[in-house]
Every structure is written in C-alpha cells, then in structure tokens.
Structure 1
C-alpha cells in the first residue's frame, strides 16, 4: 500500500488491502494455495442461512398464511432470496413497495451482495397477501408465515455455502491439494478474522473513521469519509472527492457529488449551513452507520491482535500461559461466559475441553467495560498495539462506546468449518484453459467464508 503524488491511497492487490485491515497471517502458511478467483459471477457464491434447529433454508414454497386478525404485535416472516443485491437494498425495495417503514423489518444478519442468498426476514404486522403478490427483479419471496416474535441479530445457527472458484491453473494434484487444506481447517480451524466486508469493499476505511470518531477528531472523520481518495473506487467518485479536497468548495460539492454518496452529501450540506461544525456533520449520520463504524474499529483491533500473536510465534492451536479458554455450550457449539485463564490450575481440564471441541481460545473485542487484565497474554500484545496505532486506552471511555453499548466481549481466535468438501472440479467455461472448483461448507453465525477461501487459495 502506498500513496502517489495526488494523495490516492493505493493497493497493488487484495493482500495489501487485507494487511491494511489487520489480516496478515495464515493458519497453514506451509501449504500452497490453489489460486483462482471467487465471485467472478454472483451465482458462484451461494449462501443459505441455517436455523437454530439445523435446517438449511430453501426457497421451496409451501404456501402462505394470510392473517385476518390485524394484530399490531404479530409478525410476518418469509424467506428472502436475493440475487446480486445487498440485504439493505433488498429491504429498502420491499419497504418501498409495501409502503412499510424499514424499522419494522428484522433479520439475523447481512448477506454478501455479490451472491445468491437465502435468509429469513420478519416484518411487524400482517403483510402475507402483499408479500405473496410482490414482484421485484432480483428478489423472490417464499414460505410466508406468521410469528409472535421478530428475528434477532445472530439468531441463526450459521450459514451454508456453495462456492465456485474459477481461473485455477491446471494441476493433476489440484483435488489432493485442496482436500489437504480443507481437512486441516476442518480438524484444526482457520484464523477467525473479520473479513474485508466489515471494512468496506472499495473504500476499506470504516475502521479508520471509527477510530477518529472515538478520538473526537471530527475533522479527520470528515476528511477520511469524504475527501480521502482510494484507487479502488469509481472514477466519478475519485473526481468529485479530489476536486472538493483541492478547492474546498462545499457548494459545488453539494451539486456535483453523485446521489449514491448520500452520507457524504449529508455531511457536506451540514457544513454549508454551519461552517466548520465537523462534529455536527458527523451527528447528521444515521445511528446505525455510526455503530457500524465503531464496530469496524473494534474488529480491526481484533484482527491486529490475532496477527500480532502469530508474528510473536505463539502457537495457534494450543493455549499458552495467559490465554483465555471459553467453554462451549455443545460440541462445536457457541461460546459461553464460562471462561478460564490457562496456567491457573485447570489446565488438564481445559486441554481436554479443547480436544473434545467443547472449548475455544478467545481474544477480546475491546469495549468500555473490558478488563484486559482478564486476558493476560492479549493484554501484553495490546500494549504493543497501542504504541503502533498512536492512541491510548482513554478512547475506550468515549461516549460513543457507551451510547451504543459497546461493553466488550470476546471472539474465538480459530474457526472450524463443518463438513468442508470439494463437490466438483471441471474445465472453466469462463476462463479457457483453466479449471474451476466447487466447494461447500458450513460456518457459525458471525464467521466470514472469505477468510476460509483466503486460506485455501492464498
């Protein structure tokens, strides 16, 4: 990553972008990847939610129920299949068509835009008939039912993926190489990084904006959000951002920034009305976006801590003194709040829990209530990270952390996919002379399939 004379933040390849957001290490660097590209076509990336009962969602339509009782506490649930549309946009389109506020929608999580995805959505109220008759390009709706409850974030068990990797060099050992890596990640796991989607695809800077927010550096928030240039964004965006940065003509910017840059336009308009009120311009942003920006910085710190641990030579799959082990609620289950520090007298039991897939080494997601003394090893690493990032712990007392309830939590350092397998290897119809590979696997909620692909493809 570097800057040219025009102040554009440039990345030569995806690995440079990954390093920029803290993704630096591999679980199995000794294994050569298979190469290739994913998401060449949106239908190459299929993701389906897995319910708490273990059911993989399908769009097979079993009819629908129209609720005659207009109970305001009732919810209408349905399966949303979207093709090459992100979750926010799909909900916006449905909301607009039904004339229902977006605040009435609930769902378990966001799905990749460049994909075919199936997820369960709920709307407060009775909209069975309207949903049944709805026709929107790229969107299909099935399994319309009623429920007494909304859908909570993270309420699904996980996601099932079917992914086609293209443009792979021909190799007689291709299947063997791929299956070796998939066996390793199935047995031992891969690094549970937050993926690039967390930070922005074309402008991977949401963590920087979040950091400036927490430091109350509102002018820096504006500069990074509105005028910082990224070589990966569109030519039109580069042109208008560059002109505003060079001329500082807010009136011109308000008329010439594309409407797609609506958040930037909100901030620009505020500064026209109240010059130099950068804090006020930030407060114009939707609360959900501010939450996302702060969460991105929290995710960045997690990524950096994991990378620093690897850099220091600590083992990935075995605990060392000062590690924290969380007990899982089932075999390969979810983390619980029951945790122990390795090296404090319970080691034989903790090693047994890890061997039985009933425990996981965890790293902190730092919030205002995090006591890093409870994470002895990561506390040492965090002190190094503070120096590198040029900030101090006081930013975790920011009112933003408290206002949005970023109390702090922890996240598994390693992620084990369920049943990863190579489904098919064939000649690539999109890249003549190359191969394509179709794989499938399941991941827990909150995991990133792209991080498993990164380990496989390198």
Structure 2
C-alpha cells in the first residue's frame, strides 16, 4: 500500500461494503469540455448524428499542386503527359502481373510509356545526350547484374549545367521514371547520374519489378496510396525488408506485416508500406505541406463493458482496417465497468463507421453519436466523469459501536465528504495494486533508461497458471518472442504489440526501444506518469502529516482558483504563499497544489522541497531530466490539487423501494424498532468528479476503508 498511504480529511466512522461485484455495478460516463455527458451529445445538441453527413460520401478535395513541382515542370518543359499516378493509388504495386513478352527488351523498348519517357529526355537533354545516358544506363545495368553486391558503382555521367530549377526537377523525375536504378545529384546547377546503391540493395531482397514499384511509389508521393511487397513465408527475409525501408526511408514511410488469410498452417505474410502522418510544428510551411490532403476525422461515443480501453481500440482498428494509433481519446477508463467515452478516429468516414456498427456490436462494443471532427482528441481533454456505483454488502465496521445505526453512519459519511472533499490521491488502477509488478516500477525503469529491464517487468508473471501467465513465464525463461506471441491471448493487445516488435528487432536495447515505440504515445507515457503519481501520493501524505489541513508558508497555490485546469497547464502559474499571505488569510487548503515531478515544475518552498529531492535521489533519479529521447517522451510535470470535491453527490438504498434519494441534507424516515442491516444491504451512489480524480478514492473517504 506504499502508493496509497492512509490520510483522511474527515473523522467520521464510515462503513463497510464491496464494489465492482459486476461490471454493471460501476458505470462511468465521460463529461466533455462543454459539460455534457457524452452519452447525451446527440440529444443535447438537438441534431440527429445520422443527419450530420449526407448519405452520399463526399469525394476527397482536389489536391492542389504548385506549378514548379517536378510533375508540372516535366509537362511544362516536355509538352508531353507523364505517367498517371492515380492508377497506382491504394493498390499492391508489388503484385503486378507481367506478360510473357514484357520482359523482352524489344517489347520494353517499343512500349508507349518508354517511348514517351524517351521523347521527354530527348526534349530535355537533346538526342545526343539522351543517347549517351541510355548507353551509360545499359553499361551500369550490365555491371550491376554481373556483380550483384549492392554497392555504389564508381561510374558517373555528367549531364551538364542547368540554371533553371524547374528544368532540373523535370530531368530528375524523367531519369528516375525511365531508369529506376539510377539516381541524379545536383551540385551548383550541374546534374550528375550514377547507380543508386539503395535500389541495388533492395534488388538483393526482392525482384526488379517490386523494386521499380517501390521507388515509383516513393516518387509519386501520393500520401493516400499504399505499396505491398509480394507475400513471403520467410521471417528473416521479411525482417530484412523492414530494416531496409526503416534504414533509408523511416522518416518518410512506415511498414507493417499482415498475415494472408489462406487457411494454411504456415501462412505467408505481406509487408505493406504507407506514408507517415505529417507532424505539425512551429516551423515554416514548405511547398510539400501545401500539397497535403486534409485528413478525415470522425468522432463518436464508445460504450464498452468489462474491457480495457486499448483492447477495445484494437477491436475497432481490426474492424475498420486502420492502425491503433489512428484512434485518440481523452482518458483511459476502468476495465471492470460499463464506460462511455468520446473517441476520434482518423481516416474513417461517418458512412464507413455506420456500415461497421453491427459487426462492432457483435464484439461487445457500441459506437454511436457519430459526427465529424477536425482533429484528434488529446489526453485530458474533458471536464471529468460521472459515476453511478452500487455498493453491496453494506454493513457497519466490526469495531463500530453496536448501538449505532447503519443509516446514520452512511448519511454522516456522505455529508462530510460532500462538504469537505477528500485527499486527491491517484487511485489503485493507476498502479495495478495486487500485482507482482506495478506500473510505477516499470515507469521508474524507463526513467533510468533501463529499457530491457522495463520489458522484463512487463512480462513478469503473476500467481496462477492461466494462458497469460503461461505466456509471460515462457518469455522470461526463453526470451522467445515468437513463441510467446503464439501463446499470448488475442485480447492482451499491449503485450502482443510489444512481442511483435521484439520478434522483428530482437531483445537488445534497440529492440526493446522499438517494442516500447510500438505502443501509442499515451500508453508509453502512462508508465512514467504512474511513477510520478506514486511520488505525488507520498508527497500528499507527507504534506498532511507535517502541516495538517492548513495553509503554510512556502505552499504552492493555484493563481486562478476557479477555472484552473490541472491537465492543461501550458500557461499554468502557481504562487508561493508568503508570510504576508498568511496574515491576510487569503488562501484556503482547497487552493493548495502539489507538483507531480517533471522538468517544468516549481517545487514548494518548505519541508516538501527537501522531501522531493531526497525521494528522487533515493530512487536513483538525482539530476534526472525527465526526458527519454529513445522513447520520444518528455515529462514536463504538472500541478494537482491536494483536495478534491465531488459534485452532485446523491445516494439511495436499493432494497427499500419507497426510500427516496437522500441529498442536500435530507434524512431517512426509518423505523427505529428494526435493525437497518436487515432492511437494506445495497447502496446506490452517484457523483461527478473533475478529470483525473478517482471514484475509488472518493469512496474510500466515504467508507473509511480500502475498496
């Protein structure tokens, strides 16, 4: 219980009970930034979500291109049309069926496309230089076929100096189209042609047709298209292709393997390549940015039952044929519960999502309130959550006064928490209490840069012999990622994503970094936040034991005490309480905040400052920058209120049908001659909390016991 130390705000006695006997006992509904329950968005807006988009799907907007792009420049200088890129969009370029005659030099030379490319080069270079280029290409090709070593040939051909940038761009494109194995380099306006070593290296792995198709895919720069290599049953062969693409083009494209559904025991896998999403930043826009087609975003409400958020996203991704990273959400919801939350998916239209609603429902999920969105959700983009909870087996604590009434204990507890709030601890689901390895231990290993150790912690088995623990034990004992992947159940999405990466890249430091990068950013950072949350919980208990519920000099308080948002703190400011502030008595304990460790937070100026310093040093983080470049993680830290306050806190006894909701100071009309324990044993409680506040912690304060 180190991460959940015991400190209370109120001194009432409380009562005993159990929660989460079933998923229906714990209902969570997200509250969006406008204060609406996400389950009521369609009704509240007065607009039927089915009518938001017309039945006929709108065609994608026309892609605008500048005149001086290579394709336009080629048309401008040659007067001839170039190849049609659209015919290759969203098709498997590696699966081109070649006719028997297509490999004959005569057929190739007489084909219209080659003739057109030859005409273009004649116009751009002149017939004499164009002939020299063709002879050079033939000699280089012959030498490449003879050696097959994938190294750069020393032969070079100078095409001359071209002052016009558009003309140079046209020449680059025309040469690549006709001779994919050549590359052109410009130096001070002079164009030089040489053998492309990357093309030669790829030809050691795949056929020339596939290599031509891959480089044609890159040259086309159509971000909506995909390229697929021919199926392969050889894992090492596929791994080599993955490494080649990642090594030379990893910043531009990404690769994924998919098993073919052919029904055989040893199924082949195909490697699909697609362009990476562009990341917007503060840099100046380039011409390529202006060409990007706006992405499609669809928002919806997801209802899930007894399922982890990431598992639900994996199911949706499979149904909609997109990747897990195309989904975004405002927060992770409980597993053993019925939860409703907003989500946004990229590259999926409303009509496509409508068409999949029934198949998604068969997987135990419900998507509704479909509507257009303009961008992804970010973690923390919500007002809070509303909880409807059933507490069963309600009774008095064993050490309680036998003459006391259960109904009095319940009413006293509810009223105290409604008035005074509770210590704003991070809840047990933040850490995975009861497990051999908790999330904060993994986060600490990541902060120390021990990526291999962190992977082993993820795969440390719990007590028991279920399939998940069997798979984890197999990995720890053998480090066989492929064998473990075969044993790991499908619903363990997080573990399977990491195992696939380990199988592809190995179990060393680099392979483990790839395994962590295979998880969505919000999932990677959650482990580090778990450690920082543990530090915050212990800091809160130290603060309360040292200074109690009073404001002291050196405390931090939120400057904007009414609208201060703990999860949107780019411009958040805190104030250090001074002696003059104490004399004026202008701050209350409800305004006190504590920092969660990071590289952009200010620490209190009292005994807590030394406590934070000693705690981080004891965990081996003295001088920690709270950045993990290998995992693309930056931890700025944040401020969190010491106390939290529930809103709209109401309750009722379930067994007494005539008993009304008790709220706003109402009391029960009970018959004192009957024992309350015999009358009722299940209690329904509902309330709303701000984002990042935990219902289990609120219930713990109400009941004065761990739930």
Q: Name the TM-score class by shorter chain.
A: 0.7 to 0.9
Seen in structure 2, the aligned counterparts of structure 1 residues 206 and 73 have a Cα distance that, compared at 3 Å, is: same
Provide the alpha-carbon RMSD of the alignment: 3.4
Instruction: Provide the residue aligned with 2:609 in structure 1.
Output: 379
Displacement of 1:378: 2.2
Say which of 422, 440, 443 aligns to 2:651: 422
Instruction: Provide the residue aligned with 1:308 in structure 2.
Output: 542
> 2 CA distance for matches of 1:449 and 1:303?
16
Matches within 5 A, 1:261-340: 277-278=508-509, 280-285=511-516, 286-287=518-519, 288=521, 289-310=523-544, 312-316=545-549, 318-328=550-560, 330=562, 334-335=565-566, 337-340=572-575
The answer on 1:364 being equivalent to 2:590 is no
> 2 CA distance for matches of 1:269 and 1:156?
33
Instruction: Provide the residue aligned with 2:199 in structure 1.
Output: none
Assess if the C-alpha contact under 8 Å between 1:368 and 1:407 holds in 2. yes
What SS does the corresponding residue of 1:118 show, helix, strand or coil? strand
The answer on 1:346 being equivalent to 2:335 is no
Assess if the C-alpha contact under 8 Å between 2:467 and 2:489 holds in 1. no
TM-score normalised by the chain length of structure 1: 0.80
Gaps of 5+ in 2: 61-293, 397-401, 658-676
Give the structure, 1 or 2, with the largest relative contact order (CA under 8 Å, sep 6 or more): 1
- Which deviates the most, 130-139 or 437-446? 130-139
Assess if the C-alpha contact under 8 Å between 2:331 and 2:379 holds in 1. yes
Displacement of 1:217: 3.1
TM-score normalised by the chain length of structure 2: 0.54
The answer on 1:447 being equivalent to 2:697 is no
> 2 CA distance for matches of 1:197 and 1:396?
27
**Deviations, residues 370-410 of structure 1 (Å, cap 9, x unaligned):** 343x54342122234246x4424223355359942211221
**Deviations, residues 332-373 of structure 1 (Å, cap 9, x unaligned):** x53572321122433356x43538xxx62111111123343x
Say which of 435, 444, 449 aligns to 2:681: 435
**Deviations, residues 285-307 of structure 1 (Å, cap 9, x unaligned):** 23534322111111111112112
Instruction: Provide the residue aligned with 1:413 in structure 2.
Output: 642
> 2 CA distance for matches of 1:420 and 1:153?
26
Matches within 5 A, 1:37-436: 37-58=18-39, 62-64=48-50, 65-67=52-54, 68-70=57-59, 72-125=294-347, 127-133=349-355, 134-135=357-358, 136-137=361-362, 138-169=364-395, 173-200=405-432, 203=435, 205-227=438-460, 229-231=461-463, 235-242=466-473, 245=476, 248-251=477-480, 254-255=483-484, 257-259=487-489, 277-278=508-509, 280-285=511-516, 286-287=518-519, 288=521, 289-310=523-544, 312-316=545-549, 318-328=550-560, 330=562, 334-335=565-566, 337-347=572-582, 351-354=585-588, 360-372=591-603, 374-386=604-616, 389-400=618-629, 403-426=632-655, 435-436=681-682
- Structure in which a larger fraction of residues adopt strand: 1
What SS does the corresponding residue of 2:409 show, helix, strand or coil? helix
Seen in structure 2, the aligned counterparts of structure 1 residues 211 and 456 have a Cα distance that, compared at 3 Å, is: same
Displacement of 1:253: 8.2
- Which deviates the most, 419-428 or 92-101? 419-428
> 2 CA distance for matches of 1:270 and 1:119?
30
Seen in structure 2, the aligned counterparts of structure 1 residues 410 and 400 have a Cα distance that, compared at 3 Å, is: farther
Assess if the C-alpha contact under 8 Å between 2:652 and 2:683 holds in 1. yes
- Which deviates the most, 177-186 or 61-70? 61-70
Matches within 5 A, 1:15-30: 19-20=1-2, 22-28=3-9, 30=11
Displacement of 1:236: 4.0
Whose Rg is larger?
2
**Deviations, residues 247-302 of structure 1 (Å, cap 9, x unaligned):** x3334983574245665567678778888724532432235343221111111111
